[in-house]
Amino acid sequence: MSSDVAKGEGSFEVVAAVSALCEQARQATAGTPAEREAQRIAARLQGPIRVAIAGRVKAGKSTLLNALVGERLAATDAGECTRLVTTYRYAPGYEVTAELLDGSTTELRFTRNDGALQIELGGLTHDQIARLDVGWPARVLADMTLIDTPGLESMVDENSARTRAFLDHSGTNPAGADAVVYLMRHLHRSDAEFLGAFMDRTVVGASPVNALAVLSRADEIGACRPDALESAARIATRYATDPAVRTLVSAVLPVAGLLAETGLTLTEAEFAAIRELAALPTAQRTALTRSVDDVYEPASAPLDPAVREALLIRFGLYGLRRAISAVADGEVTSSTELSRRMVWDSGLAALSATIREQFLPRARLLQARSALVALRGLAATIHDPAQSASVAAQLDRIDAGAMEFSVLHAAHLVMSGAVNVGEQGAREVRAVLDADLDHALGLAEGTPDERRATAMAGLSRWRERASDPIANSLARAVADTMVRLYERALAGMGASR
């Protein structure tokens, strides 16, 4: 085994095997409607990782997506587009297409209104459209395709059904996403339960290896008080240790998506308006932003009420107060500085970093797994029984034999808390998921004898666990995987001597 076989970018063996199987499935379905699905699976395996943004209605999903991209692409109003799954992927130019329920696609016209993308459905209604696809030359999208999903209202309503169908990782429904960012708005018990139900019932493949949670609209916590973001951070930390949450996601990060979105798309006109409000006497500006109603109060400020309303929509009450006082106190003196301040406050940087650290190194592996699940669905639809059986048999072979999937499975068991291997053991398992094997196992440095001794020590540690009579089968599976990794590393050392 090459030393980087368990690493995301290095998972060539399993990706190559799955790619070859995609091609076989394509040939077996040539000329049938399923051929397109085979092509789609193959294309997804090659493209960037697909990250879905999911959560309840109005959790702030579209706003957060815009913040991640740095442009106002996803609709945050009440229009029809919020009810559709929309994929935002990198393209050298600008293009918007609708995939209809009958499988055909049609190009859609779009405009930009005050910087916000507006898609014209051209007479189509949302119930004719399976999903929208937006190609856009935004840098972030070169690394990951982002997918906005309709809000989950309940586990039964139609919009939720679309989201669930899209994310479903089981049965015949090929999963549309390789990883999920799940937004929770408030820390009501029901949100944790909802997260559990959502993950259990709809994203069977989701686990701490490919799911993060965001405590969204963090600025609104505690009625937008000045310490809202600090409270949000504390609550998110507490939430992350809740067993019901920890088994499903690897982290809970507080983010005020609106602050980030507006910060990244701030206009000079908006800054000028903020500056005008900041110039008011202290008592007057405090009174102006005491509540949402006060902002709307026609006689209360120099600006046109429509401008104040627009500011409220763009900044939120917390953001408006914060921006006005930052300018009034001289903390920021230009639109660039205000923009930077808002993005900093929002918590976006930590989320972006976590997505990059946790999803990107595993991207190829997660994609290979998604493709495998999708191929399983496709195999069942291949008419020629011999071909269908051949594809299915190869799927089984890859599934059971690929070391990479064993590593992914072990990481899932450890990170979700299903198996306890101690802190050091857990670090080791997580490391082999993301780093090249020698680095992950501490075998990259030292003399050959030292490296061999380290590997032998690791091997005996995990062998002991693997043969522990009181360990359950899951714990043994994790230990067996680690034993195999150390054995291979040792075999590699033998060969290089």
Ligand X SMILES: Nc1nc2c(ncn2[C@@H]2O[C@H](COP(=O)(O)OP(=O)(O)OP(=O)(O)O)[C@@H](O)[C@H]2O)c(=O)[nH]1
Residues at the interface with ligand X (CB under 6 A): 57-63, 76, 82, 150-151, 217, 219-220, 256-258, 316
160 touches Mg ion (CB under 5 A): no
d(CA 330, CA 338): 11
Distance CA 85, CA 115 (A): 21
For Mg ion, give the closer residue by CB, 7 or 217: 217
Cα 470 to Cα 253: distance, rounded to the nearest angstrom: 36
Residues 6+ apart with CB under 8 A from 272: none
Interface residue with Mg ion, options 11, 82, 250, 339 (CB under 5 A): 82
- Of the two residues 257 and 458, which places its CB atom closer to ligand X in the complex? 257
Residue 388 CB, nearest approach to Mg ion (Å): 39
62 lies in the site for Mg ion, by CB under 5 A: yes
For the CB of residue 95, give the shortest distance to ligand X in the complex, in Å. 22
| Interaction between residue 289 and Mg ion (CB under 5 A) | no
Q: CB 56 → ligand X: shortest distance, Å?
A: 7
Position of minimal CB gap to ligand X = 151
Q: Describe the strand order of the beta sheet including 211-216 as a list of residue ranges.
A: 105-107, 95-100, 129-136, 86-90, 144-148, 49-55, 179-184, 211-216, 252-255
- Binding mask 380-419 toward Mg ion (x if CB under 5 A, else -) reads ----------------------------------------
Which residues have C-beta within 8 Å of that of residue 279, sequence separation ≥ 6? Answer: 328
Nearest to 242 by CA among 202, 205, 201, 188: 188
Among Mg ion, ligand X, none, partner that 257 touches (CB below 5 to 8 angstroms by kind): ligand X
Of these partners, Mg ion, ligand X, none, which one is at the site of residue 10 (CB under 5 to 8 Å by kind)?
none
Site membership for Mg ion, residue 163 (CB under 5 A): no
220 binds, among Mg ion, ligand X, none (CB under 5 to 8 A by kind): ligand X
Choosing among Mg ion, ligand X, none, which partner's interface includes residue 465 (Cβ < 5 to 8 Å by kind)?
none
Q: Which of Mg ion, ligand X, none is residue 29 near (CB under 5 to 8 Å by kind)?
A: none
Report residue 404 as tokens: 């990479």
219 binds, among ligand X, Mg ion, none (CB under 5 to 8 A by kind): ligand X
User: Taking a C-beta distance cutoff of 8 angstroms, is the pair 355, 212 a contact?
Assistant: yes
CA angle 86-350-421, nearest 5°? 100
Quick one: tokens of 190? 């029901």
- CB nearer to ligand X: give 61 or 488: 61
What is the per-residue binding string for Mg ion in 174-203, x denoting contact by CB under 5 A?
------------------------------
Length of the chain: 497
Contacts of 35 (CB under 8 A, 6+ apart): 26, 29
First-last CA distance in the chain: 16
From the list 406, 273, 382, the residue with the least C-alpha distance to 338 is 273
Kindly indicate which of the ranges 79-87, 108-116, 163-171, 321-329 contains the residues binding Mg ion, using the contact rule CB under 5 A. Answer: 79-87
Give me the least distance between CB of 60 and ligand X, in Å please. 3
Q: How far apart are CA 281 and CA 471, in angstroms?
A: 69
Residue whose CB is less far from ligand X, 220 or 480: 220
Residues in contact with Mg ion by the rule CB under 5 A: 61-62, 82
